[in-house]
Each structure stands twice: as C-alpha cells, then as structure tokens.
Amino acid sequence: MIDFQSIEQMLRDTEEQGLPLWENIQLSDCRQQDISREASWKKMSGLLEAMIQADESYREEDRSNSGLTGGDGGRMTRYGRQTGEDSLCGAFFSEVIAGALRMGECNACMKRIVAAPTAGACGVLPAVLLPCRRRYGLSDEALVQALYIASGFGMIIAERACIAGAEGGCQAEIGSAAAMAAPALVFLQGGAPGQMAQACAMAVKNLLGLVCDPVGGLVEVPCVKRNVIGAMDALSAAQMALAGIESRVPPDEVLDAMRWVGQSLPATLRETGQGGLAVTPFGQQYRPEGMEGA
C-alpha cells in the first residue's frame, strides 16, 4: 500500500513536505510497512542486487522447458558489440534491447528475477537502469533512489488502474513497467517530479490497449520481446519529458483511461491464451508438454 491515491496528490504532498520525491515515497513505504528507513533501504537495495545478479546469471545456452525461449539475449548482445554505433539503434540502445531479452529469458528459464511490477514484465526496469549505471557511472545509491521513484508510480498505477495481465491485458504489465521505468530515468537525469509524472503518462499512453495473448498460456511468446518495447517506450517517454514535452491528457486521467481500457478488453485478450497470437496457426498447434488443454 501507499499513502497516495493519485500522482497529483503524491507530487503535491512531496512539495508541501519539502522532500525529494524518492524520499517521500520511502517514508510512505515505512509507514505502510511499519519499518524503519534503514530496513526499507535494505530491502530496496536487495532488489537492485537481485536485478544485477539475474542479469549476470544469464547464459545463452539456457532454454525454457517449453523450448520456446532462449538464446536471443546472447545473439543481441553479440550483435550490439559487433556493430556498435553503426547499428540502427546505436550501442546504448542495443545494450538496452539485449538486457530486456536476457532478463525475460531468465524469467522463462525459471531463474530468480525481480517482478517489476510482474514477472512477465521483469525485463523493463533492469534493461534501462543497468545500462545507465554503466554508461554514466551511477552509484548504487542513485539506483536505489530511482527504484523508489519507480515503486511510487507503480503503486499508484496498481491502485488507480491495474498491473495484472489477466485483469487489464499486457498494457497492465509491460505498460506499467514502462511507466515505472520512465520516471526513474527522468530522476537519474536530474529531472523534476513534474517531468517524471509526464514521462509516466506518455509511457502509458504509448502502450494503451496492448493485449495479453501468450502462446500456450506461457509467459514467453510474445512476452519476452515485449519487454524490449517496454524499455524503449520508457526511454522515449523520459527523453520527451526531459525536453519539456508534456502529455495533453493529465497523468491521473491517463491511468483512469488505462483502467477503463483494461476492463473493456474481452477475456480472450487477457492472459487466457484464447485470442491474438495464441490462436494463430502456430499458437493453436503449439502445445508445450503439460499444456495440452491450453
């Protein structure tokens, strides 16, 4: 739980308290969990360390039990290193893409990951935070503060809209992850809380209506590659916000629209494996072991 029911309330309360946004979110976390600031920081630091370890644990030869997933993170990593700035996306974006694939594949291969906000969307936050850590020489302290920013926006999204694919489609998972990562990136670039809110809103808008249609009912296809789209969405939304570009629709109204869209999606497009890519010829024919009834 969190003290704030809206982004507007969170920003207003932060201004009244005269605190950095990350610190006000941390204090809210302490109140809700009845823990000390030291304990809260330790838990958040543990999440950062788990993200780092998950990324480092990736092995290109690993495959998921279904055989649908594995190896793409390694392929993208090699390609990015070989092409560098000559690639279409450049070296940094290539690193982000590779990171999202690696983390999504780690999840499919049953490795330890951080659900941010869900396991299916676990690749978005680390895919942008860890390359920024390397590129800008960021301290662990700065990254933990950024995770507080992400969690604050994430809790409001969960309260005001949804974060579960079964409830709101993939916009609720990858969309929410992008909307958490975007303000975290703005924070790491020295942006203001208002810019963080705008980044969150634009990230959500860009993926509004994204369906959840897993092949075979597994969080693999198209989920892993959608983590890439979420990471790129977060980067573009953060960049626009830092440039002073704003969402015409206020952030909280964007989240309300997200909730409405999620509720309006048919059940076939909300993680049931009964619509979208799941019912293509490949999706209908493919039945992982133990999923014959999917």
Per-residue pLDDT tens over the stretch 224-259: 999 999 999 999 999 999 999 999 999 999 999 999
Write down the pLDDT at residue 107: 97
First to last CA, the chain: 34
Q: Which of 61-65, 118-122, 215-219, 286-290 has the lowest mean pLDDT?
A: 286-290
pLDDT value, residue 114:
97
List the one residue out of 153, 167, 166, 179 whose CA is nearest residue 260.
Answer: 167
Nearest-angstrom CA–CA distance, 162 and 168: 6
Q: Is 190 left (phi over 0), alpha (psi -120 to 50) or beta?
A: left
On the question of pLDDT at 292 being above 90, the answer is no
Least confident segment among 35-39, 43-47, 65-69, 226-230:
65-69
pLDDT bracket for residue 3 (50, 70, 90): confident
Please state the pTM of the whole predicted model.
Answer: 0.95
Angle between helices 140-160 and 251-264 (to 10 degrees): 60
- List C-alpha distances in Å: 168 to 38, 211, 227: 35, 8, 17
pLDDT digits (tens, 9 = 90+) for 121-150: 999 999 999 999 999 999 999 999 999 999
H or E element at residue 99 = helix 90-108
* pLDDT above 70 for 293: no
Closest CA to 163 of 116, 127, 126: 116
pLDDT of 291 above 70: no
Task: Tell me the per-residue pLDDT of 173-217, one tens digit each, with 9 for 90 and over.
Answer: 999 999 999 999 999 999 999 999 999 999 999 999 999 999 999
Q: Which residue, among 228, 229, 221, has the nearest Cα to 277 in the 3D structure?
A: 221
What is the model's pLDDT at position 1? 57
Nearest to 166 by CA among 112, 227, 108, 217: 217
Decide if pLDDT at 43 tops 90.
yes
Q: Taking the alpha carbons of 240, 241, 244, 249 in that order, is the dihedral positive or negative?
A: positive
